[in-house]
Structure 1
């Protein structure tokens, strides 16, 4: 007779021990969640993401996805600038034409951006499935809204 399997319960681990996810208090995503190792360009992009997001949709749990989107978008911009400056191809010392490696960087960054954008609700298809968290909206209303950004 087969044993009935139980669904695993997701848990967050913090300094105080293990806390069920349902009991975890997610906070609205703000600039205070922006990783400190990012430079000014990345932090400006982070702020832009927060300003464009539908209020109540991003929480502190989304910080890594926002970071992935921001890093990919800056990488895409840099690769695009490199291609504009250097062109799509280059000539080797032997006289052979080769594709600029920045094309691959640009394509990979585009793919990463689209995956993260979909996860964040920034695409038309993913926007249809957005559910605004009333808990996050309540915290945002109490703390002065989503438009308040604290710089590091």
Structure 2
């Protein structure tokens, strides 16, 4: 997995989302997005230990979607997070590819930039197939 420096992560991630809007399974755009930092909204009352990369302790906010599997929410910028979740003012940054590598939730999808025109819904193709989760964009 390629890692994107945090200074350009937001613009690279948002360009990857635009590219994926035109070609849903573009491997270059998916790889770029996986290397970018995303923000996991922190729900009020939740506290994390600073500096620990232990994904077991992350609480992922889930969106219930009528007729579909639930999905965790992540955002490519504070601005996009605040527009979607006005009451949330804290977040935990993670590299999207690392989050996906440690995905603990079979049957739970992932929405990047929920509520934005460039949002992307990802669904786990299979739950932990050979130690990996294979993701696919949802049309």
Larger relative contact order (CA 8 Å, sep ≥ 6): 1
More strand by share: 2
More helix by share: 1
Question: What is the TM-score when the length of structure 2 is the normalising length?
Answer: 0.24
Question: What is the TM-score when the length of structure 1 is the normalising length?
Answer: 0.23
Larger CA Rg, structure 1 vs 2: 1
